[in-house]
Amino acid sequence: MEEQAEMVGRAFVDHYYHLFDTDRASLSSLYQPSSMLSFEGQKLFGANDISSKLNQLPFDQCKHLISTIDSQPSSPSGGIVVFVSGSLQLPGEEYHLRFSQMFHLIPTPEGTFFVQNDIFRLNYG
Amino acid sequence: MEEQAEMVGRAFVDHYYHLFDTDRASLSSLYQPSSMLSFEGQKLFGANDISSKLNQLPFDQCKHLISTIDSQPSSPSGGIVVFVSGSLQLPGEEYHLRFSQMFHLIPTPEGTFFVQNDIFRLNYG
């Protein structure tokens, strides 16, 4: 179960940030009405509001570079927690922004996963 | 439910780091046999091994300073995910170590919570 969590976590992270960097609007398909996002302390509820927030961030292009991925099974029913650290590169900015983010993934009846919990923080200091 | 998650998250974080900084051995009571810890990529399973790891860290005294706490309900059955950022001060060290940590808390029949998932990373860069 631990190995599967690691595999799912890595595959999810690849997929998520690839979509974020190339087709951000399609991230909405990874969330559901019950999903929550805390973005730098701001709370958003449901796939629609979360998608709006992500698509209204004040940059059009970006590139995520991933440093670490830690994944664990969160429950006997197949949930997985994924913890990511990395950096965000914005066009025209010399320095990367370091960030940490966690996802709680829940299995769907179709055999995929959706994001129930998403918490994002830039690392200052 | 969101407000309760915030309250529980803040109370847990206060309690956890207070114990860590003043009576580290007693942290074992917050974990159960099913608990998991990923500490800088090293995985530990169960309250005993987790407690051993925490008590064998290469410093006796430390002080955690908390910068941000984000909490969300993780499931309809009362679980809570808590995401923490802060810094760790070690005796004799001029600089603080920045860290991020997440906890997945599960309610117990006694009305408290235990740590099912714990992922800790120092923030470099």
Residues of A in contact with B50 (CB under 8 A): none
CA A57 to chain centre: 15
Report the amino acid identity of residue A82: V
pLDDT at B124: 79
pLDDT at B1 over 80: no
CA distances from residue B83 to A20, A48, B98 in whole angstroms, order as listed: 22, 23, 14
Residues of B in contact with A86 (CB under 8 A): none
% of chain B at pLDDT higher than 90: 86
Nearest CA in chain A to B76: A34
CB contact under 8 A, A75 and B75: yes
pTM for the full predicted model: 0.96
Please report, for chain A, how many H helices and E strands are present, in that order: 2, 6
Any chain B CB within 8 A of the CB of A100?
A: yes
Q: Which residues pair with A66 in a beta bridge?
A: A86
Any chain B CB within 8 A of the CB of A32?
A: no
pLDDT at A92 over 90: no
Judging by beta carbons within 10 Å of its beta carbon (0-12, 13-18, 19+), is residue B71 exposed, middle or buried?
A: buried
Q: Which two tokens stand for residue A113?
A: 């996963």
Q: Which two tokens stand for residue A54?
A: 């992500």
Q: Which two tokens stand for residue A45?
A: 């509820």
CB contact under 8 A, B83 and A102: yes
Q: What is the rounded average pLDDT for all residues in chain A?
A: 95
- In our burial notation (b when 16+ CB lie closer than 10 A, e otherwise), range A56-79 reads eeeeeebebeeebbbbbbbbeebb
Spell out the CATH class of B1-122: alpha beta
Beta strand pairing call for B31-39 and B113-122: parallel
Q: What is the pLDDT of residues A103-112, one digit of tens each?
A: 999 999 999 9
Unique residue bearing structure tokens 């923080």: A121
All structural domains of chain B with their residue ranges: 1-122
Q: What is the pLDDT of residues B2-45, one digit of tens each?
A: 889 999 999 999 999 999 999 999 999 999 999 999 999 999 99
pLDDT at A100: 98
Measured between CA atoms, how close is A23 to chain B, in angstroms? 27
CB contact under 8 A, B70 and A104: no
CA dist A35 and B73 (Å) reads: 10
Q: What is the pLDDT of residues A28-54, one digit of tens each?
A: 999 999 999 999 999 999 999 999 999
Q: Which residues pair with B73 in a beta bridge?
A: B80
Asked if A86 and A99 touch (Cβ cutoff 8 Å), the reply is: yes
pLDDT at B125: 60
pLDDT at A125: 60
pLDDT at B93 over 90: no
Rounded to 10 degrees, the C-alpha dihedral B17/B19/B20/B22 comes to: 120
